[in-house]
Amino acid sequence: MASFRLALIQLQVSSIKSDNLIRACGLVREAAKQGAKVVSLPIHLFDIDVPGKITFQESKILSPGDNFSTFNTRGSVVQHRIADGSLISCAFSVVTTAYCRVGLGICYDIRFAELAQIYAQRDCQLLVYPGAFNMTTGPAHWELLQRGRALDNQLYVATVSPARDDKASYVAWGHSTVVSPWGEVLAKAGTEETIVYSDIDLKKLAEIRQQIPIYNQKRSDLYAVEAKKP
């Protein structure tokens, strides 16, 4: 399959976990109905910010099966966690779906070019960063970082933010986005709760890599980006 539909659930995350889960399930079902084959949920779905101590703790990516209500415990669901909540780029998590290889990062991870470079070396075609930039870093860096990662590594990049809640202790920028391997924005949410859809076209990805063949032209005799742990 050369192309599949990705959906990003830009959920309005509340402090009531059970409510979040019920609405997330409804939106995942809706995304599946619209033909989405891979769905990503936002950061902060299960754990709400504690003022003064932002925790980037949990996010999920899943390939929707028959029963989305069980996505929290199914083996097909990848849990991606930074246990201590510190703002440090995390270890590598690659998910192989039926459609492509997906590299995962959380939020601040997107600032670390190395993570994306290593995912590209590991044949990822899509990077997904559930994240919540704020009202300063959002307008300045949110889109720039994902377009840069996409273009430099010639792969698709998606970011999944919670919807904006101006009354929250941490106000998320919103604007969940999908960027092509050419660095162009394919789909972008506003600030409200919504689902972002975009077709991930692996044939187009291959064409772009042929047009500008930077991977064949990297000077491995001069430099290398190396992962030190598997």
With CB under 8 A as the contact rule, the residue among 33, 53, 203, 229 that binds its own copies is: 229
The candidate with the shortest Cα–Cα distance to 116, out of 137, 142, 89, is: 89
Helix (H) or strand (E) holding 41: none
Contact 32, 64 (CB under 8 A): yes
Burial class (CB in 10 A: 0-12, 13-18, 19+), 34: exposed
Residue from 45, 124, 132, 145 touching its own copies (CB under 8 A): that is 145
List 36, 39, 115, 178, residue binding its own copies (CB under 8 A) = 115
CA 113 to the chain's CA centroid: 15
Instruction: Kindly tell me which of 125 and 180 has the beta carbon lying closer to its own copies.
Output: 180
The answer for residues whose C-beta is within 8 angstroms of residue 145's C-beta and 6 or more apart is: 110, 111
Q: In the complex, what is the shortest distance from the CB of residue 12 to its own copies, in angstroms, rounded to a whole number?
A: 28
Judged by CB under 8 A, the residue of 2, 22, 135, 144 near its own copies is: 144
For position 188 contacting its own copies by CB under 8 A, the verdict is no
The interface region with its own copies, picked from 33-41, 76-84, 167-175, 211-219 by CB under 8 A, is: 211-219
Please identify, using beta-carbon distances, which residue of 13 and 178 lies nearer to its own copies: 178
**Of 76 and 134, which CB lies nearer to its own copies in the complex structure?**
134
Q: CB–CB of 16/216 below 8 Å?
A: no
Q: How many residues of this chain interact with its own copies, rule: CB under 8 A?
A: 39
**CA dihedral over 70, 124, 144, 225, signed as positive or negative:** positive
Of 18-26, 32-40, 73-81, 141-149, the window that binds its own copies (rule: CB under 8 A) is 141-149
Please give the structure tokens belonging to residue 154: 């010639």
DSSP assigned state of 1: -
Interface ranges with its own copies (CB under 8 A): 87-89, 91-92, 111-115, 117-118, 137, 140-141, 144-145, 147-148, 151-152, 182-184, 212, 214, 217-229
